[in-house]
Amino acid sequence: VTIAEATDFVNDRADALVDLSHVLEAARLGDEAAAAVSGALHLYQLKGNVVAAAATQLRLGKLVKM
């Protein structure tokens, strides 16, 4: 995530946050996972990546329900 943050590749940065959310979820850190997904969603929306934003919105909804 830190490496991706230093780039201009918005989708890669968002992808890294989604990956981080999976790790955090596996570690039973649901709030942190949701925060990572929320950040990814913001980046996808900023980039205009509606497909990834929709998938990320669904993931966020599942994490919030946990």
Domain boundaries, the chain: 2-65
Helices then strands, each counted (H, E), the chain = 4, 0
Confidence at residue 8, expressed as pLDDT on a 0 to 100 scale: 75
Task: Specify the residue for token string 């830190």.
Answer: 2
Confidence at residue 66, expressed as pLDDT on a 0 to 100 scale: 72
pTM to 2 decimal places:
0.87
For residues 26-38, give the mean pLDDT.
97
Q: Considering just the CA atoms, what is the radius of gyration of the chain in Å? A: 11
